[in-house]
Chains A and B, each alone.
Chain A
Amino acid sequence: MPPDAPATLVAPAAATASAPEPLVHVRGLNVRFVSREATVHAVNGVDFDLAQNEALCILGESGSGKSVTLRALMRLNPPKKTVMSGTLRVGGQDVVAAPESAMADLRGRVVSMIFQEPMTALDPVFTIGRQIAETILRHEGTSRAEADRRALELLELVQIPSARRRLAAYPHELSGGLRQRAMIAIALSCRPKLLLADEPTTALDATVQIQILLLLRRLQQELGMGVIFVTHDLGVAGEVADRIAVMYAGRFIEEGPVGALMRGPLHPYARGLMGATVHAGLRGQRLTTIPGAPPDLRDPPRGCAFAPRCPLVGEDCLPAVPALRSPLPGRQVRCLRVEDAA
């Protein structure tokens, strides 16, 4: 067992979980992509716990490391280029150093993932029913007939109309919304404890997006899964999450319960992001923007990564990365300027 990080970093949600080990336990996670030209520091010390039946949303812009963090939980980042360190356990099992055979058992059975683009994630030459049954056969060793029966159940669970007929459909024969439902059915086929979702509704139309979000929320509650959602869309986070973590330059810079965080973000970046999100009632006003661009992760800054764009920056922000601290109960933020509650 690798040694744990200091107790001050433990997320508050861990205390309420009855199990001794949370579903997901991450401490000091670093992910670097190494090539001959450069080393990209994609994830730089991420700590969090996720309880059974909890939905966490990782919110960030492109290049913030949110998808890399998610993929690290299943060890899906390209194996030859990726260097992972820190502690990462899912359902009590180590992910950082486990042999590939153990990972193959873990993927699908304990943790599974749905992706943004169902057309590229599904296999175009097999029917939907075949792709679901394949997962069940691999992990549970049931009979073919039993796997087919379960596949039908799953399509009904994700509310695909005329499910029996759709089992024999190929991915290209389905609409975007149905394809995304089929991918959710595959992900759920072996009753995973943890479902990872990487921008699952970004490619969908507005009227279909809300259907998929409501479906995911209902499934999470009915099946009692932990869910980690990655999105760049604050509205999506508000619709499905229990907690939100805001990511910037490979770190969680703020984390807290969804309602409190959306009402009053603490970190200057989180505040800027919410101010820059266009919503009703802004008509006629100038949008607030965040000047500049995120840092180059081939050469990350020594201090606070947001300092060059921050309106509150001071000398003390530059020498070292601010620690994650808790200025309010249940909230965590990585900023020196946020005042502690009295």
Chain B
Amino acid sequence: MASPQALLSRPMPDLGGPAQPLLSVRGLTKHFPLKGGLLNRARGSVQAVDDVSFDLRKGETLGIVGESGCGKSTTSRLIMALMQPTAGEVIFDGQSVGPGGLTLKEYRRQVQMVFQDSYASLNPRLTIEESIAFAPQVHGLPRRPAVERAQELMAAVGLEPAQFARRYPHELSGGQRQRINIARALALRPRLIILDEPVSALDKSVEAQVLNLLMDLKEQYGLTYLFISHDLNVVHYVSDRVLVMYLGRVAEFGPVDALYEKPAHPYTAALLASRPSMDPERRRSEPPLSGDPPNPVNPPSGCRFRTRCALAEAVCAGTVPPLAEAGPGHRAACLVHAPGSGHSKATAHAA
């Protein structure tokens, strides 16, 4: 039996080989009950995540984009097992997570997370060296090698250990704190890192520094990223494949270039067209979509996007669109792409 020190010095071995997805999400669903009234009875539920399935390949970066309330952060918390799903399962390298499979401790050794709020995610009463060395000690690494690892990781994220090791989170800038969060996520030598809006709270010049760092670390440690953001440009920059969510469901899923160049779902097209043009001579005159996303408490029937969709027809209200083929490895939950769905544009696109 190897000592914890040896176990923690390198990532857990690859079990299923490169063809087996690192993470498989199957039918993941989370409904939050709404309570109220005189006896605090359930009055319906917020359908935050509804039947989301995808595979994450080894070594790739999968981007998840969507607007607030689309369920992207809930999805990340369900994958991290920070909350119990209403239905569905998460399979990590062929092993299910939970009773009968990987224990949470074993799972979280291999999956770590970086959050948007760099200050709230650090313990204000621990120095940053203690914060980074905390998890390895929980997993059985003695204090001295844990501190050594913390110092090595601080150097890896570009912070001089001699200068920063004894400081507290409030003494650092937002960009420095986010580097510490990244170092802490790396401390257990994980294989998957979930990045939930890791650069959204940072200034542009700092954002670029942190993105460069994330790309370097991915290479250096052989990581797989699940990158969640509302910023389409950042997701375009970092991702190999992209998943677009709308009101708790997957709207579109595909390789980054295909999805950005030829979006198949009308929502993706509108989202991409909503980006500022960066060219004052080519300003838009009409917004691509009107109104706000509907409330996830009572989502529209059938296709959830139909209330804002220019292509919506009567059939969209009655049928939940399946994820239909829109290109190689590219799927869209839109009846226009589903042959024989009854949508007037469907046959034209079915070829």
Contacts and interface: CB of A to CB of B under 8 A. Distances in A.
Real binding pair:
yes
Nearest to A285: B237
B208 A283 contact: no
Contacts of B237: 278, 282-283, 287
Interface string A302-315: 00000000000000
Given A205-B292, A210-B284, A214-B287, A287 B276 contact: no
A77 B260 CA distance: 43
Interface in B235-250: 236-237
A146 interface: no
A178 B233 contact: no
A78 B127 CA distance: 34
Contacts, number: 118
Interface in B203-229: 203-205, 207-209, 211-212, 215
Interface stretch (A34-42, A130-138, A235-243): A235-243
Contacts of A288: 208
Contacts of B171: none
Contacts of B175: 293
Nearest to A217: B283
B260 to A, nearest CB: 7
A142 interface: no
B13 interface: no
Of listed A175, A176, A287, A293, residue having the most chain B CB within 10 A: A287
Contacts of B211: 278, 287
Contacts of B289: 207, 211
A187 B347 CA distance: 50
A213 B17 CA distance: 49
Interface in B39-98: 67-68
A207 B234 contact: no
A277 B67 CA distance: 21
A289 B67 contact: no
Interface stretch (B21-29, B149-157, B267-275, B331-339): B267-275
Interface string A272-296: 1101111110110011111001000
A32 B276 CA distance: 34
Nearest to B173: A293
Given A206-B271, A207-B270, A207-B271, A235 B208 contact: no
Contacts of A280: 233, 236, 260
A150 interface: no
Interface residues of A, number: 44
Given A214-B286, A276-B204, A289-B205, A207 B67 contact: yes
Contact of A278 (B207, B277, B283, B293): B207
Nearest to B232: A206
Q: For B236, B276, B293, which residue has the most chain A Cβ atoms within 10 angstroms? A: B276
Given A207-B270, A232-B203, A176 B278 contact: no
A276 B67 contact: no
A276 B208 contact: yes
B226 to A, nearest CB: 18
A41 to B, nearest CB: 19
Contacts of A176: 68, 292
B139 interface: no
Interface in B276-333: 276-281, 283-293
A210 B68 contact: no
A106 interface: no
A143 interface: no
Nearest to A61: B203
Contacts of A235: 275-278
Q: Max chain B CB contacts within 10 Å: which of A207, A214, A235, A280?
A: A207
A262 interface: yes
A273 B205 contact: yes
Contacts of A259: 280-281
The listed residue with most A CB atoms (<10 A of its CB), out of B203, B209, B283, is B203
A62 B203 contact: yes
Contact of A239 (B173, B283, B288): B283
Contacts of B208: 275-278, 287-290
A208 interface: yes
Residue of B208, B234, B286 most packed against chain A (CB within 10 A):
B208
Interface in A235-268: 235-236, 238-239, 241, 258-259, 262
Given A210-B287, A214-B284, A276-B208, 7 more contacts: A175-B292, A205-B293, A206-B275, A211-B289, A238-B283, A239-B280, A289-B212
30 contacts: A61-B204, A61-B205, A176-B292, A205-B68, A205-B293, A206-B275, A207-B67, A207-B287, A207-B289, A207-B293, A211-B290, A214-B287, A232-B203, A235-B277, A235-B278, A236-B276, A239-B284, A272-B205, A275-B208, A276-B208, A278-B233, A279-B278, A280-B233, A280-B236, A282-B237, A283-B237, A286-B215, A289-B209, A290-B208, A293-B175
Interface of B: 67-68, 173, 175, 203-205, 207-209, 211-212, 215, 230-234, 236-237, 256, 260, 270-271, 274-281, 283-293
Q: Which 5 A-B pairs have the closest CB atoms?
A: A235-B276, A205-B67, A276-B208, A175-B292, A61-B203
